[in-house]
Amino acid sequence: MDPTRPLAVTVRIDSPQAVAYRLWFRQPEETDWTAFATGDDQSPNPSTYSVGPLPRGSVLRYFALISGNPQTAYRLELVVAQGGAPLQPPLLVAGTTDGDGTASEGGEVEP
């Protein structure tokens, strides 16, 4: 990661559920997270959000709420890129909604 250039985080939703998500970053030495994007399945698909430049050691975090029919497959994809080139392989987030039709996914990415 080049700390002088912004990052682009792309979120793609591939499955038939309502999805709302939020993206945060945290710089080294910070305790709180700063939200830089909030989107949902009605946002352009895929949606790309710009963040940074961020110093080395920064962390990105995502959290998505998913709601659809019970026991249905869901699939989201996150790509972190810089200067048009992905910094790592796409992050595939997949699973099955529970008996109520809900699921949530969250995690961290170190660019």
Binding site for other proteins (CB under 8 A): 12-22, 24, 32-33, 35, 38, 40-42, 45, 61, 63, 65-75, 92, 94-96, 100-102, 104, 106
Got the DSSP string for the chain?
--TTS-EEEEEEE-SSSEEEEEEEEE-TT--S-EEEEEEETTS-SSEEEEE----TT-EEEEEEEEE-STT-EEEEEEEEEETTEESSS-EEEEEE--TTSEEEEEEEE--
Residue 4 or residue 32: which is nearer to other proteins going by CB?
A: 32
Residue 50 or residue 108: which is nearer to other proteins going by CB?
A: 108
Residue 52 or residue 97: which is nearer to other proteins going by CB?
A: 97
Question: Minimum distance from CB of 90 to other proteins (Å)?
Answer: 10
